[in-house]
Amino acid sequence: MSNDRGVFLALTVLYKLAPSQSPALQSLARCLQSGVDIRLVVWDNSPDRSSETDLAWLQQNLPGSVYRHTPENLALSRIYNTIIREYLQQGETSPFAGLFILDQDSSFGPELLDEAAEAMAAQPDVSLFLPHVMAEDAIISPAHMWGCIGYRWHSKRVGLIGARFHTAINSGMIIRSEYLTRRFPGYDERLRFYGIDNDFCRKYAMSERWMYVLDSEVKHSLSRDVDEPREMKLWRHRENVRALLLTNGDDWFSRVTSRTYGAAYCIKMAVTERDIRFLRWG
């Protein structure tokens, strides 16, 4: 497999956060200082374009990075498909070893990409490499996935895991370019911001046997732990339920299971939040 120790294409999507304030971009800047070869695309979904001061910070700390601004807040699935098409599907062979996806508020050490490069070289038949993503002291990715229900890991595991019955969040994923350009059917653009990672892992398991879990960690914050307006919580809730139903509609059993689970989830949220508006599915 060529380019296993080549350049990583890193993608970070920003929303209402200046580049200089993003833990992900700060982490990538430290990676460059340690000698890791990265080409960065910063996709800014914020209503307003970043200031010239912040763009100057970006070029100073992450030279050669590409900044794109879409104030209409494009769906993540559409952004990911665009990046694959424009950066990875050009020419016979991609110049990038893999695509490294990061949420704006994720942080990690330079050892992550060093370990990933070594694992990619040692595991030429594996196309998905995952760090342990931590929220406080809990492992939130990778996770077991049975039907439409995910179960967290209680302890770290390093090495090969079966692609079936596992899922992972987008942030921290390192996906081999060869898989994205030759076997991946593309992100489902009906999914806007939630469910994209579960859908990706489900598609991945259709053609691939293994994922590889790295020892390195990514620190991540969960949106539900952030104090935010009730309307934003409602929006996140409805997007989550919508994604659940879209990604589990292939057969009658999945549809029945996901609708049952979705109904129970809505009732739980309505009780927890003391707001009957959480009973709405759409």
Residues 6+ apart with CB under 8 A from 109: 27, 30, 216
Residues 132 and 231 in one domain: no
Under 8 Å between Cβ of 150 and 139: no
Residues 147 and 239 in one domain: no
The share of the chain scoring above pLDDT 90, in percent, equals 66
pLDDT digits (tens, 9 = 90+) for 200-246: 999 999 999 999 999 999 998 765 555 678 888 887 888 888 888 88
Domain boundary among 173, 190, 222: 222
Residues 232 and 198 in one domain: no
What are the CA-CA distances from residue 163 to residues 56, 168, 202, 251 (Å)? Answer: 41, 10, 8, 20
Residues 199 and 254 in one domain: no
* Predicted local distance difference test score (pLDDT) of residue 147: 78
Under 8 Å between Cβ of 141 and 172: yes
What are the CA-CA distances from residue 4 to residues 147, 175, 215 (Å)? Answer: 33, 11, 19
* Predicted local distance difference test score (pLDDT) of residue 4: 42
pLDDT digits (tens, 9 = 90+) for 26-78: 999 998 877 778 999 999 999 999 999 999 999 999 999 999 999 999 999 99
Q: What six digits make up the tokens of 62?
A: 């992450």
pLDDT digits (tens, 9 = 90+) for 122-174: 999 999 999 999 998 899 999 999 877 889 999 999 999 999 999 999 999 99
Residue 1 lies in a domain: no
Residues 141 and 50 in one domain: yes
* Higher pLDDT pick, 94 / 51: 51
Residue 202 lies in a domain: yes
* Predicted local distance difference test score (pLDDT) of residue 93: 67
CATH code for the domain in which residue 64 is found? 3.90.550.10
Residue 149 lies in a domain: yes
Residues 189 and 265 in one domain: no
Residue 200 lies in a domain: yes
Residues 116 and 253 in one domain: no
Residues 109 and 21 in one domain: yes
Domain boundary among 174, 194, 222: 222
Residues 187 and 153 in one domain: yes
Residues 175 and 275 in one domain: no
How many angstroms separate the CA atoms of 59 and 65, rounded? Answer: 7
How many domains does one find in the chain?
Answer: 2
pLDDT band at 91 (very low <50, low <70, confident <90, very high): low
Residues 51 and 84 in one domain: yes
pLDDT band at 260 (very low <50, low <70, confident <90, very high): confident
Residue 2 lies in a domain: no
* Higher pLDDT pick, 83 / 248: 83
Q: Is the pLDDT of residue 113 over 90?
A: yes
Q: What is the mean pLDDT of residues 105-130?
A: 95
Domain boundary among 175, 199, 222: 222
Residue 48 lies in a domain: yes
Residues 231 and 125 in one domain: no
Least confident of 3-7, 83-87, 254-258: 3-7
- Domain range for residue 127? 7-222
